[in-house]
Amino acid sequence: MNKNLKTVDLSKTSVRKLNQTLHNLSAQTQHTHWRILEPRGAHAIACGLNLPVTVEIAGHAGYYCAGMNQLATVIIDGNTGVGVAENMMSGFVHVKGNASQSAGATGHGGLLVIDGDASARCGISMKGVDIVVKGSVGHMSAFMAQAGNLVVCGDAGEALGDSIYEARIFVRGKVKDLGSDCVEKEMRAEHLGLLEKLFERVKIKLKPKEFRRYGSARQLYNFHVDHAAKY
């Protein structure tokens, strides 16, 4: 038995109380492993964590699960609603099911892994986070993505990478179409090495050479009248 494991049943306590308890933990806490029972799609579970603790959620979570995460490992044993790991700074978030819209939005760092599919706007405005989706992503994924890596093992929907800055997108399957200023780019040795390291970390047995890379054509950085229709 893990003496450091603490169990919280959300059918008997509130998400607010759970989050406050997690926020009150000190760096010296012995309670480094938490298991959340009966989440029942509740919103904002395990938000704002700032310690290297592990939180396992035994079921489906609602909006903004693991938002603003720093240092913590959050594992969701189910599906998640809008904005999982939104604005995460560091740490690891693992969704064992599917994710709704805006997964990993504005993320600055850390790693988000989604075992299933992600809906529209996955990685919107990402700023340094790594996102690995083992399934497919919906339309407008990586919209205005500034930095970081979005790896899609399945297909990508419409307007992939629309108005992208310097983030990198890797897709193994089909891309319905590319957004404004997003183009296919050469897969160099550095990109193959990056994928190898990510795949080793998340235990994916795929070959980096099967992926294509997409990024910015750098035509929308400054206003140009010839490109006015694209703004």
Q: Are 63 and 82 in contact (CB under 8 A)?
A: yes
Pairing of strands 212-216, 168-171: antiparallel
User: Which two three-digit tokens encode residue 163?
Assistant: 């108005």
Domain ranges in the chain?
5-230
Give the closest residue to 219 by CA, choosing from 227, 229, 210.
227
Pairing of strands 212-216, 182-185: antiparallel
Measured distance CA(20)–CA(204) in Å, rounded: 35
Dihedral Cα 204, 207, 209, 212, nearest 10 deg: -30
User: Which two three-digit tokens encode residue 25?
Assistant: 């933990």
Per-residue pLDDT in tens (0 to 9) along the chain, 231 residues: 566 799 999 999 999 999 999 999 998 888 999 999 999 999 999 999 999 999 999 999 999 999 999 999 999 999 999 999 999 999 999 999 999 999 999 999 999 999 999 999 999 999 999 999 999 999 999 999 999 999 999 999 999 999 999 999 999 999 999 999 999 999 999 999 999 999 999 999 999 999 999 999 988 766 566 666 665
For 5-230, the fitting CATH number among 3.30.390.30, 2.40.50.140, 2.160.20.60, 3.10.450.50 is 2.160.20.60
Q: Are 214 and 160 in contact (CB under 8 A)?
A: yes
Q: Are 64 and 42 in contact (CB under 8 A)?
A: no
Q: Are 7 and 35 in contact (CB under 8 A)?
A: yes
CA 183 to chain centre: 22
What residues does 151 pair with on adjacent strands?
A: 132, 170
Residue with tokens 């229709």: 229
